[in-house]
Structure 1
Amino acid sequence: MPRFKVYLDSSAISFLYADDAPDFQSVTRDFFENYSHNFDLFISQVVLREIDRTVDAALREALKRVVEEYPISILAEDEAEEVDDLAAAYLDAEVLPRSQIEDAYHVAYATVHEMDILLSWNFKHLANVNREVRIQEANRVRGYRKPLRIASPLEVVSEDDK
């Protein structure tokens, strides 16, 4: 199996502590404990800012520990202008709702840095086939040829890959 480059949005990390969604929490734990070593994992400064805004101090520290304890790389900001422009293009073209600027940035970071997969539990705005098709079309129009798969952690765990 190829080693995929995976961008984690904040939900892919925060669901480790989602006591109100035990099934998703269990899958997320399984992903981090048993499968994360099979992927090259990345986050952006957007994810770190979202973590920093976590109101519950204990949860905020737990989320920071995840980033430190697992092999997660932080993407460089050297392509910031391109990321800004692409995120704005998604919003301007209504590929994502204007209210979802951080989601637009997650997709832009994953696209500009040529990720294979954007991993998210955000089914409404990211991890659904309709949104993925719209994002891929917007990317093609702007010259980004590498397809970006948007998936939930459930879609990347396989007993064959443990």
Structure 2
Amino acid sequence: MLPKPLKVYLDTSIFNFAISTQDVAAEKEVTVRFLDEVKNGRFLGHVSAIVLREINDTPEKRRQDDLLKLMGQFELETLHRTEEADLLAERYIQEKIIPVKHFDDALHIAIASVHNLDVIVSWNFEHLVKFKTRREVQAVNTLLGYRTIEICTPQEIL
């Protein structure tokens, strides 16, 4: 019997790397492979209203259109921001896991946690994909009765 597909949360960086024209060829290639696996059903892809807002706030109209077009190629469930997610994100800020000025990063984690996803997939090494963040998010989630959630790059999940 095959294992159930993992429920994965794709943050905005995933879509940005997939269409990047900058010098990130290796990351782009692995991101495209990961997105192919989402498309093929190996992973169940999710985004949030925060991801959609970040994309809609993209200042360059052509890039924004490219990002929205890319997202449209996938059956992604959109998770909504809730009061519960806001409270959990505030706790991550309070515990100094995520800096207050990067509240949206805390929201990405909280929304995925509240909706019981398995993994957050990101290229955000500054605040999300790092040992300290993973360890401290697990501690807070466990303390508050949420399941543990992995935070990794596309390369790690493949």
TM-score of the pair, normalised by structure 1: 0.90
Cα RMSD of the aligned pairs, angstroms, is 1.2
Instruction: Show structure 1 runs of 4+ deviating over 3 A.
Output: none
The Cα of 1:11 is off from its aligned counterpart by 0.4
Residues 108-132 of structure 1 show CA distances to partners (whole Å, capped at 9, x for unaligned) of 0010000100000011211122210
User: Which shifted more, 46-55 or 12-21?
Assistant: 12-21
| Matches of 1:76 and 1:17, distance apart in 2 | 25
The Cα of 1:91 is off from its aligned counterpart by 0.6
Gaps of 5+ in 2: none
Gaps of 5+ in 1: 158-162
**Equivalent residue, structure 2, for 1:7:** 9
**Equivalent residue, structure 2, for 1:110:** 112
**Equivalent residue, structure 1, for 2:63:** 59
3-state SS, counterpart of residue 151 of structure 2: strand
How many residues end up aligned between the 2 structures? 153
Alignment of 1:1-162 (within 5 A): 1-20=3-22, 21-33=24-36, 35-36=37-38, 37-77=41-81, 80-144=82-146, 146-157=147-158
Residues 58-103 of structure 1 show CA distances to partners (whole Å, capped at 9, x for unaligned) of 11011111221112111144xx110111111111111111121110
Call closer, same or farther: CA 1:27–1:107 in 2, change over 3 Å.
same
TM-score of the pair, normalised by structure 2: 0.92
3-state SS, counterpart of residue 123 of structure 2: coil
**Equivalent residue, structure 2, for 1:160:** none
| Matches of 1:96 and 1:41, distance apart in 2 | 24
